[in-house]
Amino acid sequence: MGLERGRFQGIKNIIYFNWHFYIIFLLMVIGGINILPIIPFPYAVYLKVFLWISTLSTLVSLIVSWLLYDRSDLYRFHFIKDLTGLQVLNIHAGFDESSAILKEKSPSTLVIADFYDPQKHTEISIKRARKIYPNSEDCIPIKSNQLPFENNYFDRVFLIFSAHEIRNREERKKFLKELLRILHPDGEVLLLEHRRDWKNFLVYNIGFFHFYSEKEWLNNFKQAGFKLVEKQGIHQLITAYKFKKNGSTA
């Protein structure tokens, strides 16, 4: 995928990957409108309020997502410094929107890996993403609990909107232990994620359950042997966390 993104690329992806949710929503609204005339007061009022809130919530989610993914400078990755000369690993989960950008910052040393396993990671949205955006030829398929790389090899490891796809906590712990093993003693892991917090709830409603809380991430990395060295708010809804090995020079 090239560096230039279309004006509506992000929002189109969201709708395409999750179209079943929007179909269910439309059917719910149409059904609710049709039965309103036969529902007695005050239940008709309750239903009308529910339909208005649901519609407003969905529209807010789509508008904010468009502003975030298509109209902001998020995908310019200004928060990532030049990576020239460093051994860099970018790990995604079946849908890679970041490697093309990272290649500009790390021209010759970027390794791309994909831990997506359809038996473990059953999100329908990822399956749809894989159909429309197949992996590049230089992408290495990996297992989350057994990374095929040498000890202490990478200077930078990037997890950009990918690590949350490991839904099983034990699998996630093993994955982070593997990252610890392959990371150079003074290397860094950058985690970029939405958080399960009130801001993401206001925008994505119950969809915020697909994210993890900051406490969960920090505990997971701490238990794996990492320490947090930097936290940066990239957007009101997105945070970048930088981790190093315990005992490394910060």
Report pLDDT digits (tens) over 52-111.
Answer: 999 999 999 999 999 999 999 899 899 998 888 899 999 999 889 899 889 888 767 899
Q: Which of 82, 102, 80, 81 lies closest to 91 in space, CA to CA?
A: 102
Residue 84 is encoded by which pair of tokens?
Answer: 């020239």
Residue 62 is encoded by which pair of tokens?
Answer: 């789509």
Q: Which CATH superfamily is domain 77-245 in?
A: Vaccinia Virus protein VP39 (3.40.50.150)
Helix (H) or strand (E) holding 22, with range, is helix 19-35
Return the pLDDT at 250. Answer: 62
**% of the chain surpassing 90 pLDDT:** 70
The owner of tokens 């610890």 is: 180
How does DSSP assign 175-221, residue by residue?
HHHHHHHHEEEEEEEEEEEEBSSHHHHHHHGGGGGGSB-HHHHHHHH
The domain ranges of the chain are 9-71, 77-245
How does DSSP assign 66-126, residue by residue?
HIIIIISSGGG-TTS---TTS-EEEEESS--SSHHHHHHHSTTTEEEEE---TTT---HHH
Give the orientation angle of helix 214-224 with respect to helix 169-182, to 10 degrees: 50
pLDDT higher than 90, residue 126: no
Return the pLDDT at 139. Answer: 94
What is the mean predicted confidence (pLDDT) over 118-134? 82
CB 89 within 8 A of CB 102: no
The whole-chain average pLDDT of the chain stands at 91
Task: Name 140's bridge partners.
Answer: 113
Longest CA pairwise span in the chain (Å) = 70
pLDDT higher than 90, residue 221: yes
Task: Name 228's bridge partners.
Answer: 243
What is the mean predicted confidence (pLDDT) over 200-215? 93
